[in-house]
Amino acid sequence: MNLRYDHTVKDKKNITGYFYLINVFFLILTGFGQMPIFNRYYIADIPGLGWLGEFYVTHYMHYLFVIMFLSFITYIITDYLLSKPKSIKITSSGYSRGVIISGIVITGGLLVIRNLRGSGFEPGFIIFLDLSHLGLVIMLMVS
C-alpha cells in the first residue's frame, strides 16, 4: 500500500473519529438538557450556559445533532460497503457499539414519532422508550 494512500486513510480516520466524538458529546449534552438537570443543579446559571436550561433550545439542538449523526452513520456504512480493500476492520467492541447505537436510533426515532400530534402511544410504552433510550446512552458512554 503506498504512503500517500496510507496518509489519506489515517487522515480520514482522524477526521471521522473527531466528528463522531464531538457529535456524540453534543447529543449527550442536549439529551440530558431535555431533563430538568441543568436548572436543578444550577449549571444553567453559569454564564454562557443558560441555554442548557431552556427545554426547547436543547430539544431542537438535539434534533439538529441527530440529523448530523444519522448522516454521519450513513456515510460510514456506505464508505465501508464501497471501500476496496476495507479501510476499517470492525472489532468485537465495534460490533457491540453498533448494536447499542442501532438501539439508540430506533428508540430515538420512536420518541420523535411520540412527539408528533396524535401519535397515540400508550403511556407505558413511552416510559419504556424513554428508559431504553437513556439506558442505551449510558451503555454507549461506558462502552
Please give the residues from 17 up to 46 whose contact with ligand HEM meets the rule CB under 6 A: 24, 27-28, 31-32, 34-35
Cα separation values, 127 from 63, 88, 133, Å: 20, 37, 10
Closer to ligand HEM by Cβ: residue 50 or 109? 109
Among 130, 132, 135, 139, binds ligand HEM (CB under 6 A): 130
Q: Answer yes or no whether residue 105 interacts with ligand HEM by CB under 6 A.
A: yes
C-alpha cell belonging to residue 73: 452513520
Q: Answer yes or no whether residue 100 interacts with ligand HEM by CB under 6 A.
A: no
Cα separation values, 58 from 14, 46, 53, 82, 125, Å: 28, 16, 8, 36, 23
Q: Which amino acid is at 98?
A: G
Q: Cβ distance 100 to 140 under 8 Å? A: yes
Among 21, 64, 99, 112, binds ligand HEM (CB under 6 A): 112
Q: Answer yes or no whether residue 57 interacts with ligand HEM by CB under 6 A.
A: no
Q: Answer yes or no whether residue 134 interacts with ligand HEM by CB under 6 A.
A: yes
CB of 134 to ligand HEM, least distance (A): 4
Q: Cβ distance 136 to 100 under 8 Å? A: yes
Q: Answer yes or no whether residue 108 interacts with ligand HEM by CB under 6 A.
A: yes
On the 0-12 / 13-18 / 19+ scale of CB atoms within 10 A, 108 is: buried
Q: Residues in the site for ligand HEM, rule: CB under 6 A?
A: 24, 27-28, 31-32, 34-35, 62, 66, 69, 104-105, 108-109, 111-112, 115, 130, 133-134, 137, 140
